[in-house]
Amino acid sequence: MKTLDVGGWKMRCVDRGDGLPIVFVHGFPLDHTMWAEQTAALSSRSVRAIAPDLRGFGESAVEGETVTMEQFADDLAAMLDALGVARPIVLCGLSMGGYIALQFWQKYAARLQGLILCDTRAAADAPDVAAGRFQTADRVPREGASLLVETMFPRIFGETTRRRRPELLDAMRRVVAANDPRGVAAALRGMAERPDMSGRLSQIACPTLVLVGQEDISSPPAEMRVMAEAIPGARFVEIPAAGHLAPLENPAAVNAAIADFLAV
């Protein structure tokens, strides 16, 4: 792991391999470890795999009461500057990481060579969902980040993983519990405030891969197919035996889809 000074605060990231830079942006409320199988496999194939802990998650510093998706995108741009990455990157984001990737595209399109959107959505939160996030954001600092495990895990792991790989749930439970509740709360508020990007998808001009776990009930395949169809020329791939955390649940299939998309 590298430690970077990003605008006066500490950001930690994995930076592995040489070649085409791919930035892997984790989902909520996880950290860079969810991409371990991708950074290991792809960094041996002409790829520079970069996987940060977003601000407020993992080993990165906690900054701010609300962190918008745009702010996270700005952090990624600052991280690339700190790493000396000037060439266009491929940006791969899962769920919240996908919300951030769309903001990065909106602001820094010239820095993008490609986009990989995993188990995510372009729409904003419905008002009741946003209200629920604000309430949870108030509770998390008092009750701890583990509060989210009970409500989220049945929705983010596919049925196959829940049945066959309990050790994966345990590992992610530890990741969630280790996150600073203030960082988790700030991201919840930021997600609640995120803009609707559905109407912008037709303007994405870089090569795009849309990936979804076949058992994803949070951003289901039918919804992600519509998203892929709205992005000119996007490739759409369904990952078998995986839910919302497809890269973690079926890494071999996800790595193959990414390697094929990148032709590495």
Tokens standing for 226?
């519509």
Q: Does 52 bind ligand MLT (CB under 6 A)?
A: no
The distance of closest approach from Cβ of residue 94 to ligand MLT in the complex, given in angstroms and rounded to an integer, is: 6
Q: Does 191 bind ligand MLT (CB under 6 A)?
A: yes
The residue (of 113 and 214) whose beta carbon lies closer to ligand MLT is: 214
The distance of closest approach from Cβ of residue 27 to ligand MLT in the complex, given in angstroms and rounded to an integer, is: 3
What's the rounded Cα separation, in Å, for the pair 145 and 213?
25
The distance of closest approach from Cβ of residue 213 to ligand MLT in the complex, given in angstroms and rounded to an integer, is: 11
The distance of closest approach from Cβ of residue 191 to ligand MLT in the complex, given in angstroms and rounded to an integer, is: 5
The footprint of ligand MLT on this chain (CB under 6 A) covers a number of residues equal to 8
Residues between 84 and 113 with contacts to ligand MLT, criterion CB under 6 A: 95-96
Residues between 115 and 174 with contacts to ligand MLT, criterion CB under 6 A: 156
Residues between 221 and 260 with contacts to ligand MLT, criterion CB under 6 A: 244
User: 248: phi > 0 → left, psi -120 to 50 → alpha, else beta; which?
Assistant: alpha
Residues between 4 and 43 with contacts to ligand MLT, criterion CB under 6 A: 27-28
The distance of closest approach from Cβ of residue 188 to ligand MLT in the complex, given in angstroms and rounded to an integer, is: 8
User: What does the binding site for ligand MLT look like in residue numbers (CB under 6 A)?
Assistant: 27-28, 95-96, 156, 191, 218, 244
